Structure 1
Amino acid sequence: MESKEMKKTMGAAVALSMVVGCVIGSGVFFKPQAIYTATGGAPGIGILSWIIGGLITLCAGLTVAEIAVVIPKTGGMMVYLEEVFGEKVGYLTGWMQCVLFYPGTAAALAVAFGNQLSEILGHPGWAVGIAIVDIIVVIIINEIGSKAAGLVQTLATIGKVIPLIFIAIFAFIKGSGTNPILTPMVGPGLSTGTVLGSVLIAILFAYEGWINVTPIVGEMKNPGKDLPKAFAGGILIIMAIYLLVNVAYLWVLPADQLKDCSSPAVAVAEVIFGPVGGKIIAAGILISVFGALNGFILSGSRVAYTLGVQKMIPGYKAFGKLNASDVPGNGVLLIGALACIYALTGQFNLLTDLATFTGWVFYVMTFIAVIILRRTKPDIERVYKVPLYPIVPGIAIVGGGFVLINQLFMAGSGPRMVALAGIGITLIGLPIYLIMTRKKAE
Structure 2
Amino acid sequence: MSKELQKNLGFAAAISTVVGLVIGSGVFFKPQAIYTATNGAPGLGIIAWIIGGLITIAGGLTATEVSAAIPKTGGMMIYIEEIYGKRYGFLTGWMQTVLFFPGTIAAVAVIFAQQASELLGSTSDNMKMVLPIALGIILLTAFLNTVGSSFGGYIQTIATLGKLVPLVLIIIFGFVKGNSTSIFNPMVGQGVNSVTTLGHVLIATLFAYDGWINVGAIAGEMKNPGKDLPKAIVGGLSLVMAVYLAINIAYLWVAPASELAKVTSPAALVATKIFGQIGGKLISAGILISVFGTLNGYLLTGPRIPYALTKDGLIPGSKILSKVNKGSSPYNAIWLVAILSCIYALTGQFNLLSDLTIFAVWVFYVLTFIGVIILRKKKPDLARPYKVPGYPVIPIIAILGGAFVVINQLITSPMISLGGIIITIIGLPIYTYMSKRNS
TM-score range, shorter chain: over 0.9
| Greater mean alpha carbon deviation, residues 318-327 or residues 166-175 | 318-327
2:435 counterpart letter in structure 1: T
The equivalent residue for 1:266 is 268
- Compute the displacement of 1:189 (Å): 2.6
The equivalent residue for 1:23 is 22
CA contact (8 A) 2:76 2:214 kept: no
- What is the distance in 1 between the residues matched to 2:312 and 2:395? 30
The equivalent residue for 2:378 is 376
The equivalent residue for 2:348 is 346
Calculate percent identity across the aligned residue pairs: 59
Which residue among 148, 156, 160 is the counterpart of 1:157? Answer: 160
- What is the distance in 1 between the residues matched to 2:192 and 2:267? 26
Q: Map 1:152-301; keep pairs closer than 5 Å.
A: 152-177=155-180, 179-301=181-303
The equivalent residue for 2:359 is 357
Q: TM-score, normalised by structure 1?
A: 0.97
2:415 counterpart letter in structure 1: M
- What is the distance in 2 between the residues matched to 1:331 and 1:390? 38
- What is the distance in 1 between the residues matched to 2:27 and 2:52? 13
Q: Map 1:389-404; keep pairs closer than 5 Å.
A: 389-404=391-406
CA contact (8 A) 2:29 2:264 kept: yes
1:352 counterpart letter in structure 2: S
- Compute the displacement of 1:166 (Å): 0.3
CA contact (8 A) 1:104 1:351 kept: yes
- What is the distance in 1 between the residues matched to 2:112 and 2:243? 21
3-state DSSP of counterpart to 1:189: coil
- Compute the displacement of 1:258 (Å): 0.7
CA contact (8 A) 2:72 2:220 kept: yes
- What is the distance in 2 between the residues matched to 1:257 and 1:45? 16
The equivalent residue for 2:46 is 47
Cα RMSD between the aligned structures? 0.9
1:302 counterpart letter in structure 2: R
Unaligned runs of 5+ in 1: none
Number of equivalent positions: 435
- Compute the displacement of 1:87 (Å): 1.1
- What is the distance in 2 between the residues matched to 1:408 and 1:366? 20
CA contact (8 A) 1:22 1:291 kept: yes
The equivalent residue for 2:127 is 124
- Compute the displacement of 1:239 (Å): 0.5
Deviation per CA, 1:244-280, whole angstroms, max 9, x where unpaired?
Answer: 0000000011011111111000101111111111111
Deviation per CA, 1:362-387, whole angstroms, max 9, x where unpaired?
Answer: 00001111110000000111111111
- What is the distance in 2 between the residues matched to 1:381 and 1:113? 42
Which residue among 131, 137, 141 is the counterpart of 2:140? Answer: 137
The equivalent residue for 1:329 is 331
- Compute the displacement of 1:88 (Å): 1.0
2:305 counterpart letter in structure 1: V
CA contact (8 A) 1:212 1:295 kept: no
Unaligned runs of 5+ in 2: none
3-state DSSP of counterpart to 1:74: coil
2:199 counterpart letter in structure 1: G
- What is the distance in 2 between the residues matched to 1:11 and 1:59? 24
The equivalent residue for 1:425 is 423
1:408 counterpart letter in structure 2: L
| Greater mean alpha carbon deviation, residues 114-123 or residues 392-401 | 114-123
Task: Give the ranges of 4+ consecutive aligned residues of structure 1 lying more than 4 Å apart after TM superposition.
Answer: none
